[in-house]
Amino acid sequence: MSETYPSAERVYRELRRRIMTWQLPPGTALREVQIAADFGVSRTPVSQAIQRLRADGLIEPRGRRGVEVRRWSQRDLEDTYRMRANLEAWAARLAAERSDEVDLARLRTLADEMSELARVQPLDHERIAELNIEFHELVRSAAGSHRLVEALTTVVHIPLLHRVFTAFTPRQVIATCQEHHTIIDALQAGDADWAESITRAHILAALNALKGPRGLFAEVERAG
């Protein structure tokens, strides 16, 4: 066990990274023999890594051909973002009620960096997405609700958060990054209603972008 664990962890982290960043897009087949050869390990750690990815909801069965990176239907996307809007909004409300627990300095640093990157062309979608994920995770953490964090972890699949910024126009990227500053203002003021409403609007704007001609809804329809 001690010999396979480091290998399984390495394989898991790298496959997860590739899935999250769409280097392995939805529908990509994952074959244990090929992965083992690519990583220079036996099939045992690969099997362990795949089990963890299935538990994360990032891969799914592919009949007799093993597993594949999870595919998304339009209904999946709609449900995910509407649930996320409600859960993230509730997290922001709780965080505002516990404003002393919020790391406002770190949130401002993240928001400032995102705003700066939003004005640079070509856009670094990957970096903006990483900062965005950290921003929302900090707000969730400040909410002080383990159950809420668990629910969001189940609902919010990280690959979607990485991809959403490619659906925005450059102007929309600037606007959505600016909304982070408004969320911070609401949290600092301890205004739970404001924090909740701006966060819900912020997430629903992302859903609207995903439904646009550049978004995943159109991509899923073409693939379907």
Span 203-218, mean pLDDT? 75
The first and second tokens of residue 166, run together, are 């490619």
Q: Tell me the pLDDT band of 6, cut-offs 50, 70 and 90.
A: confident
Q: Cβ(164)–Cβ(209) under 8 Å?
A: yes
- Quote the percentage of the chain above a pLDDT of 70: 89
Topology, domain 74-223: Four Helix Bundle (Hemerythrin (Met), subunit A) (1.20.120)
Phi, psi at residue 29, to the nearest 5°? Answer: -75, 140
The first and second tokens of residue 111, run together, are 């928001």
Paired residues of 30 in beta bridges: 67
Of 3.40.50.2300, 1.10.8.50, 1.10.10.10, 1.10.287.130, the CATH number of 4-69 is 1.10.10.10
What was the pLDDT predicted at 77? 79
* Residue that wins the pLDDT comparison between 4 and 36: 36
pLDDT digits (tens, 9 = 90+) for 117-136: 999 989 898 899 889 989 99
Domain ranges of the chain: 4-69, 74-223
- This model's pTM is above 0.85: no
Phi, psi at residue 30, to the nearest 5°? Answer: -115, 115
